[in-house]
Amino acid sequence: MRAGDVLPDQVFAITRGHLVSYAAASGDQNPIHQDEEVARSVGLPGVIAHGMYTLGLVGTAVATWTEGAEVVELGAKFTSPVVVPAEGAVEVVVGGTVKSVADGLVTLALSVTSEGTKVLGMPRAVVRA
């Protein structure tokens, strides 16, 4: 990988079923990620994906782009909720470019959007070259 390389977009479709599987696997059974009524009761527009689900998809994208390189940093702000419909799916698109390669580390600049809206703020991933 070289600085400036543009990585192919990766598109993920998120369903309520994914959130149920992720809740069980992660232990995060917060009902705002599964129950419409609870989500609305706390002012959300509907059931939203766990922020960590979306960041987890970034982890998946990074692993694919880098063929499983060791991750040394990964993080983001959860700036906008990803609302997951009761039926069907919502898409999340993870885009990336290689920002820098230095001292054995590759820093990726990322963009994570859903329906044209940026859902992660200042997403950052650093892997070992």
Partner 1 sequence: MPVDSALVGRAFPAPAPLTVTEERVTAFAASLGHDSRGVPPTFPIVLAFDAMQAFLDAEQVDLHRIVHGEQRFTYERPLRIGDELRATLVVTGVRRIGGADIVATASEIRDAAGELVCTGKATLVHGGASEGEQ
Site residues (CB under 8 A) for partner 1? 12, 18, 21-22, 24-32, 38, 42-44, 48, 50-53, 55-57, 59-60, 62-64, 67-68, 70-81, 121, 124
Least CB distance from residue 4 to partner 1, whole Å? 24
Which lies closer to partner 1 via its Cβ, residue 4 or residue 91? 91
Least CB distance from residue 94 to partner 1, whole Å? 11
End-to-end CA gap in the chain: 8
Which lies closer to partner 1 via its Cβ, residue 71 or residue 101? 71
Backbone angles phi, psi at 103, to 5 degrees: 55, 35
Least CB distance from residue 3 to partner 1, whole Å? 22
Least CB distance from residue 16 to partner 1, whole Å? 12
Which lies closer to partner 1 via its Cβ, residue 27 or residue 116? 27
Which lies closer to partner 1 via its Cβ, residue 18 or residue 99? 18
Q: Which residues of 86-109 are buried (b: 16+ CB within 10 A; e: fewer)?
A: eeeebebbbbbebbeeeeeebbbe
CA–CA distance from 42 to each of 16, 39, 68, 88 (Å)? 19, 6, 38, 24
Residue 75 near residue 95, CB atoms below 8 Å: no
